[in-house]
């Protein structure tokens, strides 16, 4: 596209630039607003009296003598030990991504290399499975998990998240493997490899872009999940999102909204690093993967 871009008329270039700037404002503004507000007191962040308080921090100044305060961060990380939740989230995310990619690549590869009718029906079944509302699934898990003493532990939540995310993973990886020419592994098989050896030595080396993209979506699912982690983990094993929800309080009692806001901002940092590290793979992976639909 580089050659085409050079020939663009100026008006179109300006229009597309203006559009990007507007979009970035729409996309990122709430986040920057939150980042700014996370250094204020609650009454400034939710500035009911006058919205400009959120910018100037009048009430923060009254309380702390300066317009910024790290009280939210201190409260969340030190007082409420948010780092435990962060640690749990990383354990959950790591194992969800690894497990779901391992079994997903095997399954997706098999789906892409078999032309039988049941492949189509398996894909459809996976899609119907995905239609099930997660809250119903979770409430169905509770009785057996309690009965077999599986409830509350990280591995339980991990395997449930893996299973719930399998349909999406399968669909993505299936279409990705279809883009990898069949000749590659066929010729390996002609040379005497088994199907698994062909997969191991020929396909694995070329599959990373698609796998990394699928992995990113698995990661986001595990990272942002609330329905499963809130209901299946006990208090000690909570991940970040249910912990943040717990900061918000309930009908009877006061929450600490600024802890939640500070925690949300903190929770975005690792995602920033992740996207920066993997940005090239994310894009090229999807290219290779989803093109065939």
Partner 1 sequence: MLMRKAALAGAITLMTGTLLSSAAFAECGIENGRVSIIGNEFPAIQTVGAGAAECASDTVEVKSNLTADHQKLNVAGMSGDPAEYTTAIIANSSIVALLNEDLIRPLDDLVAEHGDGLSQNQLITINGKVMAVAFMANAQHLVYRKDILDQIGAEPPKTYEEMLEIAQKIRDEGILQNPVGGAYAAGWNLAQEFNNMFLGFGGEFFKPGTAEPNVNSEAGVKALEMMKALSAYMNPDFLTHDSNATNAEFRAGNVALMNMWGSRAATLTSADGVPQEVVDGFAIAGPMTVGGGDTAASTLWWDGWTVSKNISDEDAEATFIAMKNAIDPSIVQDPEVALQAVWLLEGYEPTPAATGVFAAANMKTIPYPTFPYMGLMHTALGAELTDFMQGKESAEQALKDVEAAYTAAAKEKGFL
Partner 2 sequence: MKHRTFFWFFLPTALAMLIFIAAPIVSVVMQSLFVPHEAVLIETENCGPFGCTTSIVIDQEATEQLREERPLGRFAGLEIYFDRGHLAVAEIGEAWQTSESIGEFLGELGDLPFYRAMAFTLSYTFIVTPLLIILGFVIALAVNSLNRRIKGLVIFFSLLPMIVTPLIGSLILFWMIDSRGIIGELIQYLAGDPDLSLKASTPLMWMALMVYGVWHSAPFAFVVFYAGLQTVPQDTLESAQIDGASRWEQVRYVILPHLMPLVTFVALIQLMDNFRVFEPIVGFNASAHATSLSWIIFNDLGGETNQLSAAATTSVLTIIGVAILLSPVLVRTWRDFRGKA
Residues near partner 1 (CB under 8 A) are: 41-44, 46, 48-49, 59-60, 62-64, 71, 139, 142-143, 146-147, 149, 151-152, 230-231, 234-235, 242, 245-246, 248-255, 257-258
Collapsed DSSP state (helix, strand, coil) of residue 152: strand
Partner interacting with residue 35 (select from partner 1, partner 2, none; CB below 5-8 Å by kind)? none
Applying CB under 8 A, among 43, 91, 137, 184 the residue interacting with partner 2 is 137
Q: Name the one range near partner 2 by CB under 8 A: 64-72, 77-85, 90-98, 117-125.
A: 117-125
229 binds partner 2 (CB under 8 A): no
34 binds partner 2 (CB under 8 A): yes
Site for partner 2 in 36-65 (CB under 8 A): 45-48, 50-51, 54
Partners of 233 in the beta sheet? 152
Q: What one-character DSSP code corresponds to residue 250?
A: -
Would you tell me how many other CB atoms lie within 10 Å of the CB of residue 105?
Answer: 22
Tell me the closest approach of the beta carbon of residue 263 to partner 2, in angstroms.
8
140 binds partner 2 (CB under 8 A): yes
Alpha-carbon span 131 to 254, nearest angstrom: 36
Q: What one-character DSSP code corresponds to residue 200?
A: I
Alpha helices in the chain (DSSP H): 2-6, 10-37, 42-45, 53-56, 58-64, 71-74, 82-113, 117-131, 134-147, 154-179, 182-190, 195-198, 208-224, 227-232, 240-247, 257-290
State the Rg of the chain over Cα.
24
> Which of 232, 247, 261, 222 lies closest to 89 in space, CA to CA?
222
Partner interacting with residue 277 (select from partner 1, partner 2, none; CB below 5-8 Å by kind)? none
Site for partner 2 in 75-94 (CB under 8 A): none
Partner interacting with residue 235 (select from partner 1, partner 2, none; CB below 5-8 Å by kind)? partner 1
Partner interacting with residue 56 (select from partner 1, partner 2, none; CB below 5-8 Å by kind)? none
């Amino acid at each position: 596209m580089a050659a085409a871009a050079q020939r663009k008329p100026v008006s179109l270039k300006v229009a597309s630039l203006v559009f990007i700037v507007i979009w970035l404002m729409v996309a990122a503004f709430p986040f920057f607003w939150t980042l700014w507000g996370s250094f204020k007191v609650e009454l400034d962040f939710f500035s009911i009296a006058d919205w400009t308080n959120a910018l100037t921090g009048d009430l923060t100044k009254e309380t702390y003598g300066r317009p910024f305060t790290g009280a939210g961060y201190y409260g969340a990380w030190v007082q409420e030990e948010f780092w435990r939740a962060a640690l749990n989230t990383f354990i959950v995310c790591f194992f969800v991504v690894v497990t779901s990619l391992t079994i997903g690549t095997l399954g997706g590869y098999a789906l892409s290399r078999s032309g039988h009718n049941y492949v189509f029906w398996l894909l459809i079944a996976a899609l119907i499975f995905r239609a099930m509302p997660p809250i119903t699934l979770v409430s169905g898990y509770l009785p057996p998990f309690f009965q077999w003493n599986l409830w509350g532990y990280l591995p339980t939540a991990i395997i449930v998240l893996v299973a719930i995310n399998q349909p999406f993973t399968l669909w993505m990886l299936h279409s990705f493997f279809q883009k990898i020419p069949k000749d590659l592994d066929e010729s390996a098989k002609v040379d005497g490899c088994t199907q698994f050896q062909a997969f191991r030595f020929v396909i694995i080396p070329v599959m990373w872009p698609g796998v990394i993209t699928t992995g990113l979506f698995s990661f986001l699912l595990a990272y942002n999940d609330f329905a499963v982690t809130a209901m299946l983990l006990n208090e000690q094993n909570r991940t970040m999102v249910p912990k943040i929800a717990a900061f918000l309080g309930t009908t009877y009692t006061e929450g600490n909204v600024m802890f939640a806001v500070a925690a949300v901002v903190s929770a975005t940092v690792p995602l920033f690093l992740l996207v920066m590290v993997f940005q090239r793979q994310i894009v090229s992976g999807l290219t290779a993967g989803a093109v065939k639909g």
